[in-house]
Every structure is written in structure tokens, then in C-alpha cells.
Amino acid sequence: MLSVYQVYLLPGNSVYCGSTISPSQIPLYTKCILRLKVILIFYSLQGRTLILKDIKSHESLSLVCITQLERRMADAGNKESAPIGGDEFTNTELENNKNNTMVEEGSTLLRRMEISVAEAEKRTGKNTVNMQEIFTVYLIETRPIDAITEGHNPAPDSLWRRYSEFEILRNYLLVTYPFIVVPPLPEKRAEFVWHKLSADNMDPDFVERRRVGLENFLLRVASHSVLSNDKILYHFLTEEHRWKEVVYETGFQAKADSRIKALSATFRVKNPDKRFTEMKHYSDELQSLTSQLLRVRARVADRLYGVYKVHGNYGRVFSEWSALEKEMGDGLQSAGHHMDAYAASVDDMLEEEEHYADQLKEYLFYAEALRAVCRKHELTQYELETASSDLISKKQQREELATGMVRTFSFKGMTNKLFGQETPEQREAKLSLLEEQIVQGEETVTEKTVECEEYVKGAWVDMQRFKEQKDRDLREALIGYAVMQISMCKKGIQVWTNAKECFHKM
């Protein structure tokens, strides 16, 4: 029995074929990011084998794995009803999906709304200094899920945004939710480029990869239990023109911590939560390692390119040689063609590998977001410590004034000694001021303590979530990479076997 399902895979997941899954266990709502393009996949079932097909060409995708689904099978553990054909979703399927999204609790925006970054276009306009510039805009499409489930297929709402607007959104989220490891944006400029890859921001491949990265960003944000409920995010997705004013009105820019403040807090904080300190070290490691990995990978790609391309020269010389020969000619000529094919095959393979590099880059940038959360903790802790020590010193001053004993050195005390004691009225005034300050101070300390505790609680939860997400995603990335290598080896075997047959016929 053949049934057709429309599926989405949340970002960071990949699929590959070869496993058998019973029909009832397929979670829906999985969008697969494959070959730098986001494509919809139809699953078709014959018996118990799952076959994945490209929606446009209907050709089977052999590179596609189903680990994520299998893991979810183990995780889910609840009985789902068999999915129905076409693009309808029942409530149970949505329930299923809820268990299978990356966020466990709360309702997320992504569940109510389908979001995608569908296209990219070049525009020209005047920039802030009134000069002509070319920039790229990206089309964000949204569609409410309800509309789809009711069997309609409405056209999506859409608006155009440029990269800088995404940056503003992210900065807003960073300031507003400092305890959340905020998903990163794709890189602003092309880095870790191997020589054939363009470092030009206008290059179509770069733009395409950025489109995917931006969509990934939106999907991650919209599926986060906390971030997805943000109104500004919603506006970003739905209101093209007024959004910037609205976001600036929140005054988030003013709330941003100054760098200097943050830095000095890092040095002077006395008792940060040990777990956060460890996490900060980890984030440093993650950043340095992924960056090193990306650099070396780019060099490896370069060298591999060279190896393959030189083989193309064999194609040419075999062709020339075959013209000299009688019986050997045909075999040589055909072998030469295979050498050409071999040399040409490296382009596609390396382009595909860029997807792996993009996955690593995402976590390179995530490391920075993680560090930011740890440092914010250090800042809040430092502020608490400062408030506490301020309070203590104020209390000590009060004690001194009341008892007349000088315990702490102060200029006031010295000048008093030099120029004479103050009057009882003056002392009273000072005492009551101090009392006020102490009351305020105690309030501040209480506030800061609560703030710190809540921060630690919230941040720790999100850091755990992040850790699990990271483990999952990177594992998937490694699997994807291994699958790519396997495909590359198989192609190599194929080409050389073909060439060998031609040599045999010489």
C-alpha cells in the first residue's frame, strides 16, 4: 500500500535511507536541509521500507538518513495513529510533533506557523550616507498551520528583510533574554574559504547558503519555548514596514551592558557559580576547536581539489595518445573520459561539504552566545556582590556614627579630627541619610539576589537545553559528513572501476 506524506524536519537534522520504519512511527513536521536547499520530501511506503523522494524530480535520495526519526521513535514511546495521505495533519500528528520538536514545553510559534526564507534578491538603494549601494533582501514567508490543516492551501504571507534587520532582531533578543543562548546568524562575511569558493558576499552560492542559514535562525528562534513568544519576533515575521520603529521603541539598545562593565565584572567577581565558570571555559574551547577545524578543513578541501583536477590531465593525454594507436585507441579514449569525469566530480562533492562547514560554523558562533550567557551571570553576580559590600560598608558607617568609634578610615573622620567634631544635629542628619541608604541598599541586595538566582535558574535550564541540542546536532553533522565521505569513496571506486574496464579493453 502506497501512502504519501509531507514531512518537515527541524533544523540541524538530517535523514538517510536504509532503515525500516513502521508507518505509524513516522513523525511529521520534519524539514530536511539537504544540499544547501530546503526541500520538501515525500515519504512513500512500500511494505515497511521507507523511500524518500525529492518532491520535484521524484528521484530517490540515497544520501538521506533516518536516524533522527529512529531516535524519536525511541524517545516518543507513545502510540500514534497512522498518518493519512496528502498534506493534512491531524491533531495527534501535531501532538507527535510536539514531542519531537526540540523544545519540550510550552507552545512555540513554529507549531502555529510555518516559516521559511524562500528567496533572495538583489536591490539597490541609498544607504545612511546617501550613497548608492547594492544589497540582498530575503523573502520571509509565513503561513498559519491551522489554515493548512483545514485542507486549504493558502498563499503564504511574505515580506522582504535584509541581513542587517536580522542583526537588529538578534541584538534585541540578546538584550531582552540574556539568560538564553540565542541562536546565531549565519556569518556576515565569508570566512574559512578554500580557494575555489568565493569570498564575495554577492556570490550566488554564498547568498544561497546565507538564505538557508537565516531560515535556520528563524526556525530555531521560533521553536524556542521562551524566544518564540516574543512579540517583536512576531512583528519581524509579519510587519514589513513599521517593525524597525517598533523595535527601537523598546529601547533595547540602551539596556545593553557596556563592554567595559562586563569585562571588569569578569575580572573582579569573587564567587561566580562554578558551573558557569566551567561552561565558560567550555565555550572558549568549543570556539577555538571549531575555528581550528574549519580552517584545516578548508585547507584539506583545497588540496583534495588539486588532486582531483590534475587527473583531468590524464583525460587530455589519453585522448591525444589514443589518436596514435590502432587497437589501443578506443580503450584509451574511453578511459580518458572517465578521468575527466573523475576530475569534474570534485566540484559537487566539495560544494556539498560546505553544508558540513556551515553546521560547524553555527556552533562556532553558538559558542560565543554561550559565553555571553556565562558572562552575564558574572555581571549579575558581581553587581550583587558590589551591592552587598556597599550595604555592609554603609552599615559599618552607621555603627561608627552611632557609637562614635572610628573603625573605618574616612576623610570625613580625619577632617572632623582636624577641624573639630560635628554638631549633634549634623550627626543626626547623617545617620538618617545612612538609614535611608541602608534601607535602599537592602532592597537592592534583595532584588539583586533574586535577579541573580532567577538568572542562574533560567540560564542553567537553557544551557542544558543547548547542550542536548548541540550533542544532537553535531552528531547528525558527523553522520552527514561520514555519509558524504562514503558517497565520495563509492564514486571513486565507480570511476576507477570504469577506467579499469577500459584499460582491459585496450
Distance, CA of 226 to CA of 81 (rounded, Å) = 30
Closer CB to other proteins, 67 or 388, in the complex: 67
Distance, CA of 20 to CA of 18 (rounded, Å) = 7
Least CB distance from residue 429 to other proteins, whole Å?
59
Task: Report, in angstroms and rounded to the nearest whole number, the Rg of the chain calculated over CA atoms.
Answer: 31
Least CB distance from residue 378 to other proteins, whole Å?
21
Closer CB to other proteins, 8 or 318, in the complex: 318
Least CB distance from residue 78 to other proteins, whole Å?
16
Task: Please tell me whether residue 490 binds other proteins under the rule CB under 8 A.
Answer: yes
Least CB distance from residue 239 to other proteins, whole Å?
40
Site string for other proteins, 274-313 (x = CB under 8 A): --------x--xx--xx-xx--xx-xx-xxx-xx--xx-x
Least CB distance from residue 296 to other proteins, whole Å?
5
Closer CB to other proteins, 428 or 501, in the complex: 501
368 to 174, 186, 189, 364, 463: CA distances (angstroms): 12, 13, 17, 7, 13
Query: Could you tell me which stretch among 92-100, 225-233, 326-334, 445-453 binds other proteins (CB under 8 A)?
Result: 326-334
Query: Could you tell me which stretch among 91-99, 225-233, 267-275, 487-495 binds other proteins (CB under 8 A)?
Result: 487-495
Burial class of 78 by CB neighbour count within 10 A (0 to 12, 13 to 18, 19+): exposed
Task: Please tell me whether residue 261 binds other proteins under the rule CB under 8 A.
Answer: no
Least CB distance from residue 336 to other proteins, whole Å?
11
Least CB distance from residue 54 to other proteins, whole Å?
23
Closer CB to other proteins, 207 or 484, in the complex: 484
Task: Please tell me whether residue 474 binds other proteins under the rule CB under 8 A.
Answer: yes
Task: Please tell me whether residue 478 binds other proteins under the rule CB under 8 A.
Answer: yes
Distance, CA of 48 to CA of 425 (rounded, Å) = 92
Query: Could you tell me which stretch among 39-47, 209-217, 262-270, 481-489 binds other proteins (CB under 8 A)?
Result: 481-489
Beta bridge partners of 315: none
Nearest to 28 by CA among 9, 51, 54, 44: 9
Residue choice 327, 409, 424, 425 for contact with other proteins (CB under 8 A): 327
Site string for other proteins, 49-78 (x = CB under 8 A): ------------------x--xx-xxx---
Give residues 10-29 in contact with other proteins (rule: CB under 8 A).
18-20
Residue 451 has which C-alpha cell?
A: 535577579
Burial class of 129 by CB neighbour count within 10 A (0 to 12, 13 to 18, 19+): exposed
Closer CB to other proteins, 308 or 455, in the complex: 308
Residue choice 328, 341, 406, 461 for contact with other proteins (CB under 8 A): 328
Distance, CA of 348 to CA of 301 (rounded, Å) = 12
Query: Site for other proteins (CB under 8 A): how many residues?
Result: 58
Contact yes or no for 9/31 (Cβ under 8 A): yes
DSSP conformation letters of 393-461: HHHHHHHHHHH----S--HHHHHHHHH-PPPHHHHHHHHHHHHHHHHHHHHHHHHHHHHHHHHHHHHHH
Task: Please tell me whether residue 335 binds other proteins under the rule CB under 8 A.
Answer: yes
Closer CB to other proteins, 89 or 194, in the complex: 194
Distance, CA of 197 to CA of 178 (rounded, Å) = 36
Closer CB to other proteins, 89 or 363, in the complex: 363
Nearest to 304 by CA among 456, 54, 36, 485: 485
Phi, psi of 162 (to 5 degrees): -105, 170
Helix, strand, coil in percent for the chain, rounding step 5: 60, 10, 25
Q: At what angle do helices 231-238 and 204-222 cross, to 10 degrees?
A: 140
Other residues' Cβ atoms within 10 Å of the Cβ of residue 13: 24
Site string for other proteins, 399-428 (x = CB under 8 A): ------------------------------
Which residues of this chain interact with other proteins, rule CB under 8 A?
Answer: 18-20, 67, 70-71, 73-75, 282, 285-286, 289-290, 292-293, 296-297, 299-300, 302-304, 306-307, 310-311, 313-314, 317, 320-321, 324, 327-328, 331, 335, 471, 474-475, 478-479, 481-483, 485-486, 489-490, 492-493, 496-497, 499-500, 503-504, 506
